[in-house]
Amino acid sequence: MKFLRAISNLLRFDRTNWKALTLCVFAAAVFWVFNALNKDYSTNLALPLNVEFDAGKFATAEPIPGKLVINVGGNGWELLRKYLGMKVPTVTLALERPVETRKIPASALAPLVVSQLGALQLNYVVLDTLRLHIEPRVSRKVKLTADASSVTFKKNMGRISPTTVMPDSIILEGPRSYMEEFGDTLVVSIKATRVGSNFSESTEVLVDHNEFIFRNPPVVEVSFEVGGVEEIQRQLPVSKIKAQGVDMSRDSISSSWLIAERDRTRFLEDLANISVTLPGVELRKGDTLMLAPILTGVPSYATLIRIDSVELRKHE
């Protein structure tokens, strides 16, 4: 019992004693930190990397690293300052022949770093090889069209006018190999649901390798009129096949069309201008083939929904 009371008395500190103990612990910690920072260490540092070339004539086709990681040795205080971002130098790499420069070994990067490290010593560059992909910069003008096939409408409503894109063309600029992938026309996809009134929306022009391509403008306005529509079904005559010994399963086909209500009368008159033919094929005796018909003379305001196929049979 006396032993426990002695322990209790030993651990009983007043406020003054606790402050003294705290100061002692703090002083010991500071002393330990200062003593540790006076020693030499090795560590990795990430230095900002700036690759310079004529951006007006050349463009990157792959991302260029923004950091160069190196292993350095030196006094703890100096390493702490660098680690905390104080006086961290930027490594600038100037390229005279950017297209031809695809690989830069670590041995070539080391001299650029050494002169900027001050009291620190460069042990090695962590990256074995810096890989670059820079190409001549090419610019071209591309026509724009819109694909509104993913747009859905409210019941008995639909698109009743051509889709307009403003502006109707765009300037693309970037690495030559990527620019060669583009055709003369670029499709802008439109997505919207349950549209019930005239449509107008700003849409970003997205392209392959988007991060490497400069677009002017990057955003276009897509619009079309929306109104009441109806589905019309009609039989269309099929032009006869002239090939000898070939029979058609039918001489007319069923077709379904989506028409604006306002265009019903005009469409019924224009049906006479739609011709249906079959693509030319070679058949051997006994062959049977289903073909999708080819329609010409279709009014621009009419949308074909469904159409029958035609069976051909070679009997001679």
Domain boundaries in the chain?
A: 2-37, 40-132, 137-224, 230-314
Q: Which of 14-23, 48-57, 144-153 has the lowest mean pLDDT?
A: 14-23
Average pLDDT over residues 32-37: 45
Give me the residues paired with residue 255 across strands: 234, 307
Q: How far apart are CA 45 and CA 156, in angstroms?
A: 65
- The structure tokens 């009129």 sit at 225
Residue 234: which of 257, 250, 218, 216 has the closest Cα?
A: 257
| 298: its two tokens | 């279709």
Beta strands in 36-192 (DSSP E): 40-52, 58-60, 67-75, 91-94, 103-105, 121-125, 129-131, 134-147, 157-159, 164-166, 169-175, 185-189
| 306: its two tokens | 């469904």
Q: Judge if 137-224 and 230-314 fold alike in CATH terms.
A: yes
Average pLDDT over residues 149-164: 91
Quote the pLDDT of residue 216.
Answer: 96
Give me the residues paired with residue 38 across strands: none
- The structure tokens 């030993």 sit at 10
Residue-wise pLDDT tens digits, 96-139: 899 999 998 888 888 887 776 666 777 778 887 889 999 999 99
| 38: its two tokens | 């006076």
Whether residue 34 is predicted with pLDDT greater than 90 in this model: the reply is no
In terms of pLDDT, which residue wins out, 22 or 192? 192
Quote the pLDDT of residue 35.
Answer: 45
Whether residue 223 is predicted with pLDDT greater than 80 in this model: the reply is yes
- Distances in Å between the Cα of 67 and the Cα atoms of 92, 93, 95 are 11, 12, 17
Q: State the pTM of this model.
A: 0.68
CATH classification code of 137-224:
2.170.120.40
Quote the pLDDT of residue 37.
Answer: 44
Please count the other Cβ atoms lying within 10 Å of the Cβ belonging to residue 132.
Answer: 21
Q: Does domain 230-314 have CATH number 2.170.120.30?
A: yes
In terms of pLDDT, which residue wins out, 146 or 5? 146
| 174: its two tokens | 């970037």
- The structure tokens 């670590």 sit at 106
* pLDDT interval class at 82 (50, 70, 90): low
Quote the pLDDT of residue 122.
Answer: 76
Average pLDDT over residues 177-183: 93
Residue-wise pLDDT tens digits, 248-299: 888 899 999 999 999 999 999 999 999 999 887 777 777 788 889 999 999 9
Determine the Cα angle at 266 with ends 272 and 152, to 5°. 105
Helices within 2-128 (DSSP H only): 2-11, 15-37, 76-83, 106-114
Quote the pLDDT of residue 251.
Answer: 87
Quote the pLDDT of residue 22.
Answer: 59
In terms of pLDDT, which residue wins out, 180 or 89? 180
- Distances in Å between the Cα of 165 and the Cα atoms of 45, 141, 197, 216, 310 are 50, 15, 18, 14, 37
Residue 106: which of 68, 138, 139, 135 has the closest Cα?
A: 68
Q: Which amino acid is at 32?
A: W
Average pLDDT over residues 157-168: 93
Q: Which amino acid is at 211?
A: E
Q: How far apart are CA 301 and CA 109, in angstroms?
A: 64
